[in-house]
Amino acid sequence: MSGVLKRWNLLPPEAAANEILPCCGSRSWADGVTGRRPIADEVTLLAVSDKVWSGLAEADWREAFGSHPRIGETRIGETRIGESRIGETRMAATKAPQEASQQSAAWSGQEQRKVAEGGASAKVALAESNREYERRFGQIFIVCATGKGPEEILTILQRRLGNDPVNELREAAEQQRQITQLRLRKWLQT
């Protein structure tokens, strides 16, 4: 058992849930995973995470989506000139402790590193497509961005704009599941 898991298994439930909250952004997910302690190893943790995630309500998924900044942004809920704020409840709904918000934002910055290195035209196109996605689906665009540049993400975003709302929610939930898996692994390394 890793030292992180050993220590985390002994924390009071609220403290344990708050500690893993940045990995997903859903309070119900964090409480659900915490409620299944003790967790012996990484494989079990990832399996428990997936099981809890798949059993959550749509509102819990949307809470997790709202804990992310838009692709190409550095802060949760950041608004650029000329942009409207769709999803004003983002992050406010999670009621996450300040440290959780900061950790989640730091991980998002790492995950979107290639986007930040992209050219201006790709970033503008991405911002425009983000707004179109938000108007269509009422949530921010979620993609597991690790290792993907702005052009690749823009291609994915434009493809997903063709989804119907039900299939898009499922695809967004799968992307969030992948992000959560990556973040849990990072958390175990802290």
User: What would you measure as the largest C-alpha separation in the chain, in angstroms?
Assistant: 50
Judged by average pLDDT, the poorest of 5-9, 26-30, 34-38, 146-150 is 146-150
Its pTM surpasses 0.85: no
Bond into 150 cis (ω within 30): no
Decide if pLDDT at 108 tops 80.
Answer: no
* Residue 76 · residue 104 · CB < 8 Å: yes
pLDDT of residue 101: 66
Place of tokens 């798949």: 54
Buried b (16+ CB within 10 A) or exposed e, 142-151: bbbbeebebb
pLDDT of residue 109: 63
Q: What is the pLDDT of residues 157-176, one digit of tens each?
A: 999 999 999 999 999 999 99
